[in-house]
Every structure is written in C-alpha cells, then in structure tokens.
Structure 1
C-alpha cells in the first residue's frame, strides 16, 4: 500500500526545489555579470570628442546643429570638430546650438 504525502509536505518539497533553482539562476546571473565586466575592462569605450557637428542629408550636407560630444540628442550623421570650428559655426549661426546640451554656453558664446 502506498501512502499519500500530506499536501503541506508536498508544498514544502516544491519550495525547496524552487529555492534551489533560484539559487542556480542567481549563480548564472552572477557569472554573466562577471563575464560582461571582464569584456568591458578589456575593451573600454573610447572617450567622446569634445564637440561634434550634426549634418543634414543630401548634396552639400549643411550643418544642422553643433553638440557637445556627450550629447545624446545628436543624430547619426555626426563628425567630431575642434573647439575653434565649433566657435566658428556658432558665430555664423547661433541657432545651430543644440537646445539640450547647450554648447554655446560651454563655449562662452552667449
């Protein structure tokens, strides 16, 4: 004759199994975080340029905006520029200054 385990014993068994699975998952997460940290240490991100220019589409690719290098509002068509070039572009047209990162303020153009 087989006796059935009480429901509470079954639930406690289930809990132990789930805790073991949770511990294993946390271990895997920890290992992956270590791998990513090691990769990041081997290949650090390059320092962003101090100033970038955003250009439009098409022939001539007119200057759309001047940004600080860290600005995330810049589009995909950007290239690094020197401080002098940023000053010149903003002197030609102050409206080119990005309204988020305000390169004109940092450059003292205001």
Structure 2
C-alpha cells in the first residue's frame, strides 16, 4: 500500500502511541511509592517507546519510498521537442542519467509543464491518477 491513506494511518498510529506513552508517564508519576508497580510501568514504557520508534521508521521509509517513486530523464538534446521524460522508478526504458522526482513534482510536470512528457511504457500519469 503506497498511497496517502498509508501515511495518514501511520500519523494516526503515531498520535495514539504518543498519547499512550504520555498516559504511562502520568501513571509513573502517581505511583512513586510502589516499587512493584513501577517495574511493570517501566516495562510498559519501554515497549511503547519501541512501538513508537518502529512507527517512526515506517513513516520515514514510506516518505522515502514516495520521494523516489518517480524520476526524470533529461531530453536527448536541449531543444528536443518533447522535453524531459517523467518515468516511474524502475522503468526499463530509461537510457540516460536520471534524477529523483517527488510525487507532487511528477504530477505537475506530467499534467501542466510543456517541457515534460510521460513515458509511454511505464505510464507515470496513470500511477498519478491523471487522465491520459
């Protein structure tokens, strides 16, 4: 799943985990005189911190994946009539050096910029949800 809803879900999960961790910290502050309960709450705190760290890793991976989803290949020569080509990352028709392109920039380039065109093989416009 590589779409905005995944990022939205991970952000929601992050907020819930942060709230749970804050609740555990409040509980810890309230049981200063109960060593047995403190041990249990410290264990819970460690587990919640690990869960939150894992969610942060997932978010970072998803953002990196989204940033590298599209690439741009320069035109054959400076005055080439079609301009640069926008590809999906991993397209097998790429023949020259490429640069990463964010989803937002790829959408703008394919949809509105006359100096760019979409690759006819990997069809980044379809992946972006644009009408071709």
TM-score range, shorter chain: 0.3 to 0.5
Larger radius of gyration: 1
TM superposition score normalised by structure 2: 0.40
**Higher share in helix:** 2
